[in-house]
Amino acid sequence: MQKLPGLFTVFAGVVVLSTVNAASATPPSGQFSSTEYGRAQQGANAKVVAPSGRDVDSSTYTVAPGGDTGWRTGPGTTALAVTKGALKVEQAEGCASRDLAAGSALVLSPGEFRLHNAGQEPVELLANFTGLPHGGGTPLVDGPADPAPACSGFAAAAAPNGISTAKSFRGDPSPYFRQAHAGHGGGSANDAYPTKELTVQAGKDAFMTTIEIQPGFSTGWFTHTEHVAILTKGTWAFYGDRDGKCQIVEEYHAGDAWVHDVHRHLGAVQGNEPVEITLFGFNLRHGEPMPVFGSNPDHFDFTQAPPADCPTQLR
Give the CA dihedral 252, 255, 261, 263, nearest 10 degrees: 20
Q: pTM for the full model? A: 0.89
Read off the pLDDT of residues 6-44 as tens digits, 9 standing for 90 and up: 455 554 333 333 333 444 667 788 999 999 999 999 999
Q: How far is CA 71 from CA 147, 159, 161, 210, 236, in A?
A: 7, 8, 12, 29, 37
pLDDT in tens, 112-156: 999 999 999 999 999 999 999 998 899 999 988 999 998 988 877
HSE-up (13 A, CA, CB side) for residue 234: 20
Cβ-based burial of 174 (10 A; exposed 0-12, middle 13-18, buried ≥19): middle
* pLDDT of res. 181: 56
Q: Which domain holds residue 235?
A: 2-41+172-301
Q: What is the pLDDT of residue 24?
A: 62
Residues composing the chain: 315
Output the CA torsion sign for 172, 178, 184, 186. positive
Same domain, 121 and 197: no
Do 159 and 192 fall into the same domain?
Answer: no
Query: CATH code at 280?
Result: 2.60.120.10
* C-alpha to C-alpha distances, 314 to 9, 27, 123, nearest whole angstrom: 19, 11, 45
Answer yes or no: do 143 and 192 share one domain.
no
My answer on whether 80 and 144 are in the same domain is yes
- Report how far residue 145's alpha carbon sits from residue 159's, in angstroms, rounded to the nearest whole number: 7
Exposed, middle or buried, 264 (CB in 10 Å: 0-12/13-18/19+)? Answer: middle
Q: What are phi and psi of 94, to 5 degrees?
A: 75, 5
Provide the domain count of the chain: 2
Q: From edge to edge, which strands make up the β-sheet containing 235-242?
A: 245-253, 235-242, 264-270, 218-224, 300-301
Is residue 95 in some structural domain?
yes
User: Are 37 and 179 within one domain?
Assistant: yes
Query: Taking the CA of residue 244 as centre, how many other CA atoms within 13 Å lie in the half-sphere pointing to its CB?
Result: 0
What single DSSP character describes residue 178? H
